[in-house]
Amino acid sequence: MVVGKRVAKETLLPSVREDDDDDVGHGQELLGGIGSRPTSRPRNIYSRGSVDSQTVVRARGRSPSAGERAEDEEDDGRDKDEEDEEETGQSGGAFDEQHRDGVCLSTDEDYDTELELEDEKDQYDPTGQARYREACKRLGVIPVSYFLRNMHQSELSMVHHGLGPQGTMALAVPLVTNTSILKLNLRDNWMEGVGGAAVADMLKENCYITEIDLSENHLGEYGAKALASMLLENTTLVSLNLSGNCLDERAARHLAEALSRSQNLQHLDLSHNRLGETAGETLGAALAENTGLKSFNLAWNCIRGKGAIACAKGLGANIFLRAVDLSYNGLGKEGAVALGEGLKENNTLEEINISINRIPPEGAIHLAVGLKVNKTIRILKMSRNPMQSAGCFAVLKAIEANPASAMEHLDFSDISVDQEFEDLLSSIKETLPNLQVKHGSKIRPLQKPKS
């Protein structure tokens, strides 16, 4: 049957509006479907736009019921002339509608197909803006205009935007399918564990983001657990910053398991948390097994005692790390001894920061034992340790005794040195002219009072 232009509009447009209204009742599916990229036609905003099958059904007419089929059978006995007259009258009316205003329409099948393609084109949202607005509406948050303007950039920084858990969940919706953003900075948005879990689910599907900064977001153990699970599935993320997220030893256990099994992450920042001694033991064992990390930051984590020793041993066993920051912890003498032993075996570490670790002169002397044979360390930072001039002298003497040393920069800031250290440094400058050494003030010799 040929369908007129006015009939098609009255039939199709209400059905489209009804389908749009149905989506409003699926707010719960928004939260649960973020981590999936469906293959059928899911009823949530995490799937790409597609034409609802009900639109096509309503456009073409519904299937006849049993009673209607019975009436059709009774009408079969109707006189053929009467049927011809009815068909002639209907076709004539349809013909008038069909040629009104000079517009000629095709058959209903062709007309439906044309509408389906147009509807599908309108619903497909490659930018993700429509999906983001809909997610904000369902979650009751205000869309961030900065995100809408810059979601096509390769690097997106949204620091201090106050997203909160709900805003973070809405933001994660379009990021599931975003192909533009490669580096994402969401520092200090108070997303908490719920928001962190939403970002983790997003990263399980997104295969374009390579660097993400989630520092200072109060993720806690809940967020750390979700991100640890993500690291076991994601194969593109190479840099993760979790600094300042109130992570404790329980969060460290989840992350340690991920580090032991995942080999894709190359840069991890866990600084400014409260991991403690027990977490140091857990992460130290994970470091010994990891084969992917190139830089690891554990500064400001109250790691001391057995945890410090475990971390030092883990560094010695790891053959892939290039840079490690253990500053503002408590290695002490025992940790320095373990680190010195590890440097004897390690031939990959290039930069170590052990500033402010309560390392005494004896600890520096034991650390120097490893520096005598190490061939890769280029940068060593030991500032503000109570190692005194004797400890600095021992480290410098070890570098002089190592003909294969690669040392380029020594940092002894805020540590006073004596004349003996100055003399040794002057002699080393002749053989290692590129060596840079920073130290505190020079200790002046005591002068005997004149009689």
**Domain ranges (residues) in the chain:** 5-123, 129-439
Which amino acid, residue 371?
L
Structure-token pair, residue 80: 């053929």
pLDDT value of residue 33: 46
Q: Which residues contact 342 (CB under 8 A, 6 or more apart)?
A: 312, 313, 315, 316, 317, 370
Please provide residue 185's backbone torsions phi and psi, each rounded to the nearest 5 degrees.
-115, 110
Amino acid at 411: D
Can you tell me which residue has the tokens 């190139």? 294
Contacts of 262 (CB under 8 A, 6+ apart): 231, 232, 292
Q: Tell whether the model's pLDDT for residue 122 goes beyond 80.
A: no
CATH fold of 129-439 reads 3.80.10
Compute the distance between CA of residue 143 and CA of residue 171 in angstroms, rounded to an integer: 9
- What beta strand segments (E) does 217-361 contain? 239-241, 267-269, 295-297, 323-325, 351-353
Q: In the chain, what percentage of residues exceed pLDDT 70?
A: 71
In the structure encoding, which two tokens stand for residue 447, read together?
């002068």
| pTM for the model | 0.73
Categorize the per-residue pLDDT at 30 as very low, low, confident or very high, splitting at 50, 70 and 90: low
pLDDT of residue 199: 98
Q: Which of 190, 167, 166 is nearest to 245 (CA)?
A: 190
Residues 358, 385 contacting (CB under 8 angstroms): yes
Residue bearing the bigger pLDDT, 362 or 263: 362
CA-based Rg of the chain, rounded to a whole angstrom? 35
Q: What is the token pair recorded at 450?
A: 């004149």
Q: Per-residue pLDDT for 89 more than 70?
A: no
